[in-house]
Amino acid sequence: MTVEEATTAPRMKAADRRELILEAATAVFGAKSYVGTTTDEVARAAGVSQPYVVRLFGTKSKLYIAVIERAYERILGEFTRVLPGPPEERMKRMGAAYAGLLVERGMLPVIANSTALGGDPEIGPVARAGFNSIWRFVRDEAGFTKVETRDFMANGMLINAIVGLRLVGAYGTEQSVTEVLNACFPDAVGVRELMPEAGEPW
Amino acid sequence: MTVEEATTAPRMKAADRRELILEAATAVFGAKSYVGTTTDEVARAAGVSQPYVVRLFGTKSKLYIAVIERAYERILGEFTRVLPGPPEERMKRMGAAYAGLLVERGMLPVIANSTALGGDPEIGPVARAGFNSIWRFVRDEAGFTKVETRDFMANGMLINAIVGLRLVGAYGTEQSVTEVLNACFPDAVGVRELMPEAGEPW
DNA sequence: TTGACATGTTATCAGTCGATTACTACAGTC
DNA sequence: GACTGTAGTAATCGACTGATAACATGTCAA
């Protein structure tokens, strides 16, 4: 288990426990995808029993939906935070804000994985809604042009792929990875250290 | 089952059966992701028994690896095919070639899903190798600049996300989907009809 | 034609996972 | 200081899944 493991579960308000579980679930779902993650792994990562996770969220899919919604809200929050300031650097700030979410374990991988679940009758609508909320924000709130919006979103998807592929953990050890990274993060220096390792986190 | 189902399995050369299973597996894996797909579903889609699928490929992960490798080879093949011609339209041709692979069921979804499996010790290296092979081709064979290469790959990832989210099947039924599509496929008309439906394919 | 290998199936198992049930213990309050 | 609702666990179950074993049938060279 790569995700940190809580030791015990002393009494706590249900709302706080919910948030704690959501954070743990984000890390685990992000590392192992939706189907690949068991409710028991989430429970152990959060330091509670497996049945309690199920009882708090109803079903595994409802838990995952809560995780997705929280992740998209988090991204929108970051974008909103860096919105003020010189418009000509706005895209750069927002891109940095997105890449900065790499420090929050599972956040970007969860987003990335959610874009593959459109076919699920329960999760699909939520994933689409999240993606659309980002698109709309970039378009309307940030005021990007059509092409800028598309390119911004496209680069976000590329970052997702790089994270998901663990291209950074393999930095220097596999061919042409260097090129990929230099092309995508020409000036963002500290980003590489924030990425998950290639070996274990599965 | 959304994927077409063969009726029986008359005698066939193992190599041909392998290819037939790979094609069926691409469709199923593409629709339901790696972990979400059972070897039995692949078997039924290919019209053979589940144990035979396992025996032909050894394990489920080896089958999936074969599917990924085949998919990346297919993409490289298409890119190679459209390479000759006026260089100034090269990127457009390659983009169209990529989008054209939408007709081959599961091909693009499999690629998209593979970019989330970098953490798997078996599949990760194969997924990275495939991604790198595309990157290298675009960079070296097609002769794109660094920025062009990144943008081309990024747009590919965006297409993957759009397909994975079933944004096209939801065309007109959910908010802002129209914007997304118009921004991404300004002139590619027939593409929308080629995309999987939003409802069932899960 | 016969034997030997290749193609394929049926039956089955051991492990896993989400969910349910029944139970325990703590905290506030009247 | 009992009463009541909330927080949490242990035990367990039915369904599923990848893999194995044993068996059946077709094909082809000598």
CB A103 within 8 A of CB A195: no
Q: Length of chain A in residues, anyone? A: 202
Least confident of A101-105, B64-68, B198-202: B198-202
**Could you give the dihedral angle defined by the CA atoms of residues A99, A103, A109 and A114, in that order, rounded to the nearest 10 degrees?**
-80
Tell me whether residues B165 and A131 touch, CB distance under 8 A. yes
* pLDDT score recorded for residue B126: 96
Residue B202 has pLDDT above 70, yes or no: no
> Is the pLDDT assigned to residue A199 strictly greater than 60?
no
The pLDDT tens digits for B117-155 are 998 999 999 999 999 999 999 999 999 998 899 999 999
Contacts 24+ apart (CB under 8 A), B188-194: B188/B96, B188/B99, B191/B99, B191/B102, B192/B168, B194/B102, B194/B103
Strand D positions closer than 7 A to protein CB: 6-11, 16-22, 26-27
pLDDT average, residue stretch B13-40: 96
Local confidence band at A174 (pLDDT 50, 70, 90 cut-offs): low
- Show the CA angle centred on residue B52, arms to residues B49 and B53, nearest 5°: 95
Q: Is the CB of B13 under 7 A from strand C?
A: yes
Cβ–Cβ pairs < 8 A, chains A and B: 170
Q: Specify the CATH architecture of the domain A14-194.
A: Orthogonal Bundle (1.10)
pLDDT of residue A5: 34
First to last CA, chain B: 8
Quote the CA–CA distance of A99 and B198 in Å, as a whole number. Answer: 30
Give contacts of B149 with chain A, Cβ < 8 Å.
183
* Residue A113 pLDDT class (50, 70, 90 cuts): very high
